[in-house]
Amino acid sequence: MASKKQTIEIIAMACTECKRRNYTTTKNRKTMQEKLELMKYCKWDHKHTLHKETKVK
């Protein structure tokens, strides 16, 4: 039997300054089609920076 695609997807949040993946979170693809961008704390830069959605490898 074929399985349907899941609507909830696991994503990683990458810092825009140091390019490291610091956080993972989930996202509902049906309600949010655009890429997620949040201000989060980067422990390597020691400040709040913009984190953008990337794929989990």
Q: How does pLDDT run across 18-53, given as a tens digit for each residue?
A: 999 999 999 998 999 999 999 999 999 999 999 999
Retrieve residue 21's tokens. 């993946």
**What's the predicted TM-score (pTM) here?**
0.80
Which among 8, 13, 16 has a CA at the least distance from the CA of 53? 13
CATH number, domain 8-54, options 3.40.50.2000, 3.50.50.60, 1.10.8.620, 2.20.28.120: 2.20.28.120
pLDDT band at 4 (very low <50, low <70, confident <90, very high): low
Which among 8, 36, 52, 33 has a CA at the least distance from the CA of 22? 52
